[in-house]
Amino acid sequence: MPQRTPGLTLITGASSGIGAATARLLASRGYPLLLLARRLDRLEALDLPNTLCREADVTDRAALLAAVAEAEARFGPVESLVNNAGVMLLGTVAEQDPEEWDRMLDVNVKGVLNGIHAVVKGMVERRRGTIVNVSSTSGRKTYPSHVAYVGTKHAVHALSENLREELAPHNVRVTLIAPGACNTELQSVTTNEAIKQGFEEWKASIGGVILQPEEVAESIRFALEMPQHVCIRELMLASTNQPV
């Protein structure tokens, strides 16, 4: 169990994958939670204690603010944000519909900023809090057919480091979690079937073993449960067999 009673934790994109695994893990450790995603039925199906589930698109700044206000009235101030919602639409720049770039930039970059906006003023006023931004190995490296996605995750890396510097004097922590390939629904959103098939072949070529969302959730828990004066700045994790 955490050393102290955990405060309200907001998880965006909690309806599947890493967000859902993190919600389950933190709920099992007594965290009150605000879970956001567009698929409310999936949030409610998690059936977690001390949890408020709300339908919210991270591109909708007002919806995030309203959900935070409602959750704070019930559970007290937000102590942590797990800024996790994201989409990955792969394609070569020559072939990909630019609408897909727009969607990734809106969700992966502006959505992350919107999550920060919803909680940061209160954290600064209280001089405590933790913002965990879920980026990717794609925030440090590059991969074929990933140009726009890699651009969004490099942006998350860069804005997180700058945010950490800005919030350090206010005693607010910023942590970046950068997973490699993980067994979630993320791949299913890509519209290019050849790229999806290529991912399955790549996975087989490394022995079929990629991260499980519960393993990424554990790294988020680790960062959250360090004492407030310890900031895990960045944690990059991937399957041992993943070469790049």
Catalytic residues: 149
Q: How long is the chain?
A: 244
Backbone CA torsion sign across 201, 202, 207, 213: negative
Q: Is 182 in the site for ligand NDP (CB under 6 A)?
A: yes
Nearer to ligand NDP, 107 or 172 (CB): 107
Q: What is the CA radius of gyration of the chain?
A: 17
Site string for ligand NDP, 50-89 (x = CB under 6 A): -------xxx------------------------xxxxx-
Nearer to ligand NDP, 128 or 196 (CB): 196
Site string for ligand NDP, 94-123 (x = CB under 6 A): -------------x----------------
CA separation for the pair 217, 115 (Å, rounded): 19
Of 185, 197, 222, 226, the residue at the interface with ligand NDP (CB under 6 A) is: 185
With beta carbons less than 8 A apart as the criterion, state whether 34 and 78 touch: yes
Site string for ligand NDP, 16-55 (x = CB under 6 A): xxxx-----------------xxx--x-------------
From 31, 224, 229, 226, select the one nearest 127 (Cα to Cα).
229
Q: Is 134 in the site for ligand NDP (CB under 6 A)?
A: yes
Nearer to ligand NDP, 62 or 168 (CB): 62
Backbone CA torsion sign across 190, 95, 152, 238: positive
CA separation for the pair 2, 122 (Å, rounded): 23
CA separation for the pair 53, 206 (Å, rounded): 37
Residues 138-177 contacting ligand NDP, CB under 6 A: none
From 162, 83, 77, select the one nearest 124 (Cα to Cα).
77
Residue ranges in contact with ligand NDP by CB under 6 A: 12-19, 37-39, 42, 57-59, 84-88, 107, 134, 136, 179, 181-182, 184-186, 213
